[in-house]
Structure 1
């Protein structure tokens, strides 16, 4: 986490969290979702504006974290901006020596390969679960065939968040948690 962010947290510890305003798609691209986009529907159905400013993308990457509930967020100064995930918290590209490189630039090693009912390839790593970027699926398939990575385990997509402890929609989870009990 950036030092300036740590100082802001100390100075303003009670800033409310932000939900629904930031999305991460299956190709590792960030989307800003203002109130009008959010009113059109959930992410990724209504994506918003793709962020392209390299300085902002780098800042988000350095301050991308998760809480103890498995909700991923961008720590923007004193405010947590929770992320709506299209697929998983990480999107992997294949780097040198079959290492994985995340959408934030972090390097890690491949663990268990997983294939869901839609044919999407996920890789579990020490950083967590990530979706293989569509441009690297052929390279990943070669690594699987060569035995460099373990054969993929079939898993139902709906089971991934609980199994790998992440929340795809903190906004929807928050809305569900705010509903009044019946009676």
Structure 2
């Protein structure tokens, strides 16, 4: 199952569990995998710098096996080997999906559906969403969808919209690069939400939300 801190620690695939049982002491690695601000995985190790991973089966495998250590280091569990992920900004990149009823649906770059809880804007105008799965940057392609719900109230920006987590398999509603899915414990339904968009400085995000953007292997 999945457990929450400010982020999710994801249960691994059966295939990965079997590999861990067979090879329990494979050393972890760092410095070869990066998550950029568009939610893309980039290889940065002994391959051409910045090679983007795009194969759907690989993307879905990575999505299912992306997790976080208690100390805030994010990783991809690649079979028996843990690969720590360099985060260009945040550990999650959020997408907004408009539904037929006019509701909005929020997902992470790994396809996890959940509820928004707070919103922020940094000094570059980028919007960050704190969701059930942690803090994440809103994908730049979805700024117009967000802007439709923005209002000014008493000198502050406020976002008002109806959000939904559908009771049906969300992957049947929206065509997405990575399979959309809900996790156990996430409530379904629709909510009218109003969030003040708080200012935040990008340099403070990692410390405030307790994640390590440049994780290293334990010494």
**Smaller-chain TM-score bracket:** 0.7 to 0.9
Counterpart secondary structure, 1:73: strand
- SS of 1:147's partner is strand
* Structure 2 Cα separation of the partners of residues 6 and 143 of structure 1: 43
5+ long unaligned stretches in structure 2:
1-11, 152-158, 162-193
Once residues 108 and 128 of structure 1 are traced to their aligned partners in structure 2, the CA distance between those partners, rounded to angstroms, is 10
Aligned to 2:198: 153
TM-score normalized by the length of structure 1: 0.84
Q: Does 1:9 align with 2:15?
A: no
Is contact 1:19–1:83 with CA below 8 Å preserved after alignment? Answer: yes
Say which structure is richer in helix.
1
- Quote how far apart the aligned CAs of 1:63 are: 0.4
How many angstroms does 1:115 deviate by?
0.7
Equivalent residue for 2:137, pick from 131, 149, 153: 131
Counterpart residue number, 1:102: 108
- Farther-moved stretch of structure 1 (149-158 vs 58-67): 149-158
Tell me which protein shows more strand as a share of its residues. 2
Unaligned runs of 5+ in 1: 38-46, 179-183
User: 1:26 — aligned with what?
Assistant: 37
Q: TM-score, with normalisation over the residues of structure 2?
A: 0.71
Q: RMSD across aligned C-alpha pairs, in angstroms?
A: 1.7
Q: CA deviation at 1:52?
A: 1.3
- SS of residue paired to 1:169: coil
Residues 44-84 of structure 1, C-alpha deviation per residue, up to 9 Å, x if partnerless?
Answer: xxx52001111111100010100011111110111111111
Deviation at 1:36, TM superposition (A): 6.5
Q: Write the distance in 1 (CA, Å) between the matches of 2:74 and 2:149.
A: 29
